Amino acid sequence: MNLKDIIIPKEKTFFELLSKQSNTVLKGAIQLDEMITKFDQLERRRDEIKEIEREGDLNAANLFRQLNLIFITPFDREDIHELTSSYDSILDFIYAVANRLHLYKIEASTPVMKELAKIIVDSVTELNRILGTLNKIQVEIIERGGIAVSELENRADVLLNEGVAALFDEGDPFRVMKLKEIYENMELVTDKCKDVADVFRVIAIKYS
């Protein structure tokens, strides 16, 4: 039986809520990219991302509430729970990066930061595209999207390692520690994106 054959109208709520959360996460990723690219008014930009993170928390709470209220779900409850948690974690780490950029008084963005920010936007954009096909379970599109997100995560991992190695050639140990932590948190965002893509692939296998 295909997923579309077992959905009843009220269960479409999950797709609407997941779509809303995915769009919220994309908004946060774009804001972080803008913060790093322009690198001005860091406190204001940090606060704006905090508001987006709060919006994501509300979306997640609503998804969990619906999960408890609705008896028949469009796919396994544990998969919905995992998607909700992983999407929420993406926003948590995006805010963690923005907060550190402000609190650590980072004076300028670095090429590694800029490239990682772009990878984050590309990863979340890909998740958005996959989610748009989830209610029809288009396996080939979901699989291709999952591979794309994995490749982006691999690129982020390489950037992290190379970026941290380059930092240790610098003379200021405090700057090294600050930037290393920021790079690591940015790479963690791509890890969480891969977690979401992996759940999409699991769902596709179960219901194709």
CA 201, CA 193: separation in Å to the nearest integer?
Answer: 13
21 closest CA partner among 94, 119, 91: 91
Decide if pLDDT at 5 tops 50.
no
Is a pLDDT exceeding 50 seen at residue 163? yes
| Average confidence (pLDDT) over 57-64 | 94
Confidence of residue 1 (pLDDT cuts 50, 70, 90): very low
Amino acid at 38: K
Q: Assess whether pLDDT exceeds 50 at residue 8.
A: no
Find the helix or strand (DSSP H, E) in which 55 lies: helix 42-69
* pLDDT for 12: 66
Helices 12-38 & 42-69 angle (0-180, nearest 10): 170
Q: Say what the pTM is.
A: 0.91
Domain chopping of the chain, boundaries: 7-207
Q: What span, in angstroms and rounded, lies between the C-alpha atoms of 204 and 194?
A: 15
Q: What is the mean pLDDT of residues 78-90?
A: 93
Cα R_g (the chain), whole angstroms: 18
* 7-207 has CATH 1.20.58.220 classification: yes
CA dist 96 and 73 (Å) reads: 33
Region 179-202: mean pLDDT is 96
